[in-house]
Amino acid sequence: MKALHANGQIYEASEIRSGSALKSGPWFCPGDGCEVRFKFHRAASYAAGDAERVARQATFVHSDEREHSSECPFNAKAERQRLLNEHASTLIRRGETLLLMYGAGSEPAKPSTPVEPRPAGAVREQYAAVMSTALDIARVVDRIGEPALESHWVRHQGINYTWREFSYGPDAQDLSRLTPSVRGQVTAKTWPRLVRAVVHNGGSLNSSESWVMARMTAVDTLPGNKAVKFWVFARPNTDAGSLLLTFMAEQTYALLGEWWDFMTRTEEASLTIEQTSQVSRLA
């Protein structure tokens, strides 16, 4: 998230190092002609539940009573309305919250219900619509920070997920939440996630040629040069497998899927994809 410093320069919150004289600001909304004041919050971690600590990235927060101008791209209310207009088929409004509908049926399947085969075309279309909506929300969350982070949820097969539970990356601090979330998931392997990351090892076949795989990483590293990585798998001789084979180092992708596991040896998270619409090239 960015803010305008009184010195006339716009900074990304992650650029402000501890001890920097810039920290105290004053900071303003970077929207053209907008007078809202911002305050800098450094990166921190806080306890969430018994064992886990959650890292929060450095960010700016709205710190006065002023409202963003109606044309300001940091106006959360105006952005919510725009998202709702542009993604009417995937978004539902619940009070101040937008719910992204993902996964057939909004109620959890009963254990006794037989699993219906899904027509591939419908799945493809649905991934495409959810991907497009999710990326648009992610851009708004990147820009606006906390107010947008709290007002977007995902509903997948009757279960609601916060935006933090659903969306990961591309920076190391955010992506480092991915593997703990996969290890901690209660319902086996079917927790929907959107992950943005950079290709570290391009797509290739494993030695038995039973899987195409690519290794992904964050755009930066954690303190101490520690890299954060995860894997993507697809079956060879499928459209998803062919697409994964074209992944080349340093390209950035968004990946959407619910079939997550982790590698026994490295303990890194892994995603299996079946549809090309689960993949979107970002840069």
- Distances in Å between the Cα of 52 and the Cα atoms of 49, 55, 180, 184, 224 are 6, 10, 9, 10, 21
**Interface with Zn ion includes 36 (CB under 5 A)?**
yes
Strand partners, 155: 101, 160
Smaller CB separation from Zn ion, 147 or 257? 147
Candidates 60-68, 152-160, 211-219, 263-271: pick the segment binding Zn ion (CB under 5 A). 60-68
Choose which of 26, 28, 31, 185 interacts with Zn ion (CB under 5 A): 31
Does residue 27 touch Zn ion according to CB under 5 A? no
Given 74, 102, 168, 247, the residue binding Zn ion (CB under 5 A)? 74
* Stretch in the footprint of Zn ion (CB under 5 A) among 24-32, 44-52, 76-84, 96-104: 24-32
Cis bond upstream, residue 223 (ω within 30): no
Chain mean position to CA 194:
5
Map residues 214-253 to x or -, x wherever contact with Zn ion holds by CB under 5 A.
----------------------------------------
Cβ 151 to Zn ion, closest distance in Å?
16
Among 72, 101, 218, 240, binds Zn ion (CB under 5 A): 72
User: In the complex, what is the shortest distance from the CB of residue 74 to Zn ion, in angstroms, rounded to a whole number?
Assistant: 4
The yes or no reply on residue 68 touching Zn ion (CB under 5 A) is yes
* DSSP state string for 185-207: -SSTTEEEEEEEEEEEEEEEE-T
Q: With contacts defined by CB under 5 A, name the span among 28-36, 113-121, 137-145, 155-163 that binds Zn ion.
A: 28-36
Where are the strands (E) in the chain, listed by range? Answer: 2-5, 10-12, 27-28, 37-41, 44-48, 52-56, 59-62, 91-94, 97-102, 152-156, 159-162, 167-168, 190-205, 212-217, 229-234, 252-262, 269-272, 279-281
* CA distances (Å), origin 112, targets 147, 188, 258: 40, 17, 21
Interface ranges with Zn ion (CB under 5 A): 29, 31, 34, 36, 68, 72, 74
